[in-house]
Chain A
């Protein structure tokens, strides 16, 4: 059973803080994703990684960076949190190479005050 685990379910941070959201998967998946979910806007891709130390910008990368130092871990970093980054953040992973189903973490609801 694939497990994608996000480090926090709820997080409250202050404007200007540096915020780290962590995601770990236990199935040796090649691909990892960070999405942001807002009402009426669906799931918008922030960043995608297809291998260790490899990353690609998604649709809304501004204000975010990522780190993938190990295959199982993909971190999303908010360099200087702002109130418009208050949202639900979902991590996902997939094996790739024809096994394309994406498995999602439980989500982190981030509130920036």
Chain B
């Protein structure tokens, strides 16, 4: 089955700096890569996703890049704000084969004002 590794496990940045979280996956058939944000005490929510036919996707201050050859994808947050502080999870799945979503171990991002 799929295995997703996520790094770093914790990340502390100064407000206004950029943050980068990296994930690798093992199954070359995976074709859908979402990122979820979980604020303290709340449920995870999708913030951005990318499919395997695209190399990069942006939504305001967040962007995701995908390198299919190397089997890794990354989340980039620019101009970080204190409200970006949360746990971020990457995930991977082959949505042509049952859509079983496998998550990475999570990254706790702390943005210091």
Residues of A bordering B, CB below 8 Å: 31, 33, 35, 40-45, 48, 50, 56, 58-59, 90, 92, 94, 96, 98, 100-102, 104-107
Is B100 in contact with A41, judged by CB distance below 8 angstroms?
A: no
Say whether chain A's binding surface is mostly helix, strand, loop, or mixed. strand
B105 touches A33 (CB 8 A): no
Residue tally, chain B, CB below 8 Å to A: 24
Contact surface of B with A, Cβ cutoff 8 Å: 1, 6, 9, 32, 34, 36, 42-46, 49, 89, 93, 95, 98-106
A45 touches B98 (CB 8 A): no
A104 and B98: CB pair below 8 A?
A: no
Q: In the complex where A42-B103, A43-B44 touch, is A102 in contact with B9 (Cβ < 8 A)?
A: no
Q: With the chains together, A102 CA to B103 CA distance in Å?
A: 12
A44 to B4, CA, bound (A): 11
Assuming A45-B100, A101-B49, what are 11 further A-B pairs, CB within 8 angstroms?
A: A40-B105, A42-B105, A43-B106, A44-B103, A45-B103, A59-B1, A98-B95, A100-B32, A102-B34, A102-B46, A104-B44
Partner of B89, one of A42, A45, A48, A105: A42
Some 10 contacts from A to B, beta carbons below 8 A apart, are A33-B100, A33-B101, A41-B105, A43-B103, A45-B101, A90-B44, A96-B95, A101-B46, A106-B42, A107-B43
> Are A42's CB and B6's CB within 8 A?
yes
Q: How far is the CA of A98 from the CA of B34 in the complex (A)?
A: 13
Q: List 4 tightest A-B contacts by C-beta distance, closest first.
A: A42-B105, A43-B103, A104-B43, A42-B106
Which among B9, B34, B36, B46 is the interface contact of A40 at CB below 8 angstroms?
B9
Measured CB to CB, the nearest residue on chain B to A30 is B99
Q: Which of A40, A58, A90 contacts B100 (CB 8 A)?
A: A58
